[in-house]
Amino acid sequence: MDLLNTLVDKGLRRETPTRGEALAVLATSDDDLLDVVAAAGKVRRHWFGRRVKLNYLVNLKSGLCPEDCSYCSQRLGSRADILKYTWLKPDQASQAAAAGLAGGAKRVCLVASGRGPTDRDVDRVSDTIKAIKEQNEGVEVCACLGLLSEGQAERLREAGADAYNHNLNTSESTYGDITTTHTYADRVDTVQKAHAAGLSACSGLIAGMGESDEDLVDVVFSLRELDPDSVPVNFLIPFEGTPLAKEWNLTPQRCLRILAMVRFVCPDVEVRIAGGREVHLRTMQPLALHLANSVFLGDYLTSEGQAGKADLEMIADAGFEVEGTDRVTLPEHRVGGGCGAHEGGTVCGSHDGGGVCGSASADTDAEAGAGAVDETVRQADGPRTDLVAVRRRGAGTDLAPNA
């Protein structure tokens, strides 16, 4: 396809596609899907080889958030039966992080529910960052605490944080439809504060909330302008008890097209497959590794993910390798603050404490027998509510984490 050849050429040159070209990727047919994946895979391999960066989430404070983000199981008024607990102590958080690092993760993402941190909260997280860094040489730490006030990003940087995550989630024109307690501009401001403080900015999106192709392209182009180093792509987990519980709009093919579009628009940044990959990509997860160079290992904020061992086996079986702490994730021209302006515009370059990170349970019901398998097959083209499992292990519990 001429479109794909053009997009590959632009991706290798770090040149911005047109909006029409990005929309055309989302409009490709299932018959052309493997061609789309192969083309975007060329761009991914050019900048990142066959390396896959593993990230591990630690939910420092779960539930009881005053914000009303419609997608979130931790939102104000949520009836989702999730774990609820206040701040983990630094030693508890460090112990939780150790499980993911032992599984091969090189970045720990420290997430807390809420509108934004108080200065005391920043002190807590700073102590946690120091504890993790002291015990794990070479580990990256990303904080995700909501909207930042003046000076807080600098304090996190001084404590040793490497990155800050705050997602845009959706297009500016539709943002008010999913959240009313803060604005799209508030989110942009926090990403810019992280940038200005010398933190690696991480900002992404959530697909599957009923948005149009135009909305998806809008938010990805907005991310490109913000120039984060990593872009997490979340696929909505429709939690029962949230306003978007009935929004089952994604297929594995749709998810792959979205990831390909993000890769073409953001060719040389860390594109991360985040919440919802097991629920919506399902058996096509390995194909997504040809598009994204980063994933979360194990469980998410309020949902269970597939077994960490299964993640590692999937990466190896697909012919990829886990990126070690001795490797720099980003291309050389992006290290140390991004690439800035170049021909065709700026390059965009992860994950928010909103609590959308969710995934499938790796467990099966042994007592269900063959009848359950038949039911799963019948449900393949419809909502897979059977794949949404609330996290009951790891941080905030006495059970071992999944990593």
Domain residue ranges in the chain: 2-329+342-346
Rounded CA-CA distance 320/218 in Å is 31
Active site residue 65: yes
Q: Which of 14, 44, 65, 124 is catalytic?
A: 65
Q: At 63, is the pLDDT very low, low, confident or very high (cuts 50, 70, 90)?
A: confident
Position 324 pLDDT exceeds 80: yes
Question: At 345, phi and psi to the nearest 5?
Answer: 120, -165
Q: Which of 142, 144, 339, 348 is catalytic?
A: 142
Q: Which of 44, 72, 75, 391 is catalytic?
A: 72
**Residue 89 CB coordination number (10 Å):** 13
Among residues 208, 203, 163, the alpha carbon closest in space to that of 187 is found at 203
Position 20 pLDDT exceeds 60: yes
Active site residue 348: no
Q: Which of 124, 224, 257, 272 is catalytic?
A: 272
What end-to-end distance do the CA atoms of the chain give, in Å? Answer: 40
**What angle is formed at CA 402 by the lines to CA 111 and CA 246, rounded to 5 degrees?**
65
User: Which pLDDT value is given to residue 351?
Assistant: 34
Assigned CATH class of 2-329+342-346 = alpha beta
Average pLDDT of the residues in 350-361: 34
Contact status, residue 94 vs residue 108, Cβ threshold 8 Å: no
Q: Which of 69, 144, 339, 348 is catalytic?
A: 69
Contact status, residue 130 vs residue 160, Cβ threshold 8 Å: yes
User: Which pLDDT value is given to residue 378?
Assistant: 36
Rounded CA-CA distance 163/109 in Å is 9
Active site residue 144: no
Position 353 pLDDT exceeds 50: no
Can you read off the two tokens belonging to residue 362? 């790796």
User: Which pLDDT value is given to residue 365?
Assistant: 34
Helix or strand holding residue 360 (H, E): none
Position 271 pLDDT exceeds 90: yes
- Burial of residue 314 (CB within 10 Å: 0-12, 13-18, 19+) is middle
Active site residue 393: no
105 CB contacts (<8 Å, ≥6 apart)?
Answer: 54, 55, 56, 297, 403
Q: At 368, is the pLDDT very low, low, confident or very high (cuts 50, 70, 90)?
A: very low
Position 297 pLDDT exceeds 80: yes
Position 224 pLDDT exceeds 70: yes
Can you read off the two tokens belonging to residue 380? 């393949």
The total number of residues written for the chain in this structure: 403
Return the amino acid letter for 234.
N
Instruction: Output the furthest CA–CA distance in the chain (Å, rounded).
Output: 59
Helix or strand holding residue 396 (H, E): none
**Residue 42 CB coordination number (10 Å):** 16
94 CB contacts (<8 Å, ≥6 apart)?
Answer: 128, 131, 132, 135
Q: Which of 107, 124, 144, 202 is catalytic?
A: 202
- 69 or 389, which is more confident? 69
Position 5 pLDDT exceeds 80: yes
Can you read off the two tokens belonging to residue 129? 């960052």
Position 346 pLDDT exceeds 60: no
Position 334 pLDDT exceeds 80: yes
